[in-house]
Amino acid sequence: MQSEIYSMTDIAPTIAAILNVRTPAGALGRPIERIHRALNGSERLALLAPDALGMHPWTLWRDEMPYLSSLIDANHVVLRAVMPTITPVNFATMLTGGDQSVHAIATKADDLACESIFDTLAEAGRRGASVGQEDCTMTALVGRYAHVAERLPRFEDDLVADRVIRIARTQQPDFVITQLVTTDDVFHKHMPSSPEVIPYLHQTDDRLRLLVDALIPLGYGIMILADHGQHDTEKGRGSHGTEADEDSLVPCTWTR
């Protein structure tokens, strides 16, 4: 599928433009105009991140994810993750607009060395929330900077989806971000190209539909993108971290 390719550094400026807050200082990217135009005027914004669901696995299994594929077919761009193509680095980039040389994140235990979208939201009197699982980047890194941070048990993507909806209904944060980790886990275990991942892709597709259907009536514009992709290895498992397209190219779609 042919598409424009943007940088992961463009996500934080795009979030800031949609929510009409200042772009974090140190951001290297620019707002993606197609997304800004489509979601501008949304009361709130949700970023849903199915971990490692890059262009490579999505292209292989697009028919197994009919809901996500319908959104991608309607509206999408391709993003190139920053190096190294690992989760903490690229979530930090989503939130700051900087690459590793700017935000200084190498592991989920590191501290951001620059502003994030949570800082500029707070400056405008607004709030951002994160919902994630124990020992994952969403809790260990992002949750330290979010104004509302939910930490849930590991291997509980269904619980994560339910909690995002509950927080959106009860607390109505201006921005909410979540990480659905099942896709990364199963790609590492079986390889992105293995048919064994298909049942888990079905589940992720259902969660995304549930989230979008619940969040849009609450005034949320939706962005869906992965932090990185994955490639197959000779050991029969998936891996990532390289600059190869399989690891670095991810689809980004949106709806409201």
Q: Give the per-residue SS3 of 54-93.
A: CHHHHHHHHHHCHHHHHHHHHCCEEEECCCCCCHHHHHHH
pLDDT tens, residue by residue, 2-40? 578 999 999 999 999 999 999 999 999 999 999 999 999
Please tell me the predicted confidence (pLDDT) of residue 1: 55
Q: Does residue 79 register a pLDDT over 80?
A: yes
- Is 27 in contact with 7 (CB distance < 8 Å)? no
Give 207's contacts (C-beta < 8 A, 6+ positions apart): 157, 158, 161, 180
Q: What CA–CA distance (Å, rounded) separates 220 from 162?
A: 16
pLDDT band for position 228 (cuts 50, 70, 90): very high
134-140's contacts with Cβ under 8 Å and 24+ in sequence apart are 136/87, 136/108, 136/179, 136/181, 137/87, 137/88, 137/91, 137/108, 137/179, 137/227, 138/91, 138/177, 138/178, 138/179, 140/108, 140/109
Q: From the CA atom positions of the chain, what is the Rg in Å?
A: 16
pLDDT tens, residue by residue, 170-222? 999 999 999 999 999 999 999 999 999 999 999 999 999 999 999 999 999 99
| Domains in the chain, CATH or no CATH each | 5-255 (3.40.720.10)
The token pair at 133 is: 């699982």
pLDDT tens, residue by residue, 82-119? 999 999 999 999 999 999 999 999 999 999 999 999 99
- Cα 125-168-95 angle, rounded to 5 deg: 55
pLDDT tens, residue by residue, 141-152? 999 999 999 999
pLDDT band for position 42 (cuts 50, 70, 90): very high
Cα dihedral: 19, 172, 112, 25 (round 10)? 20
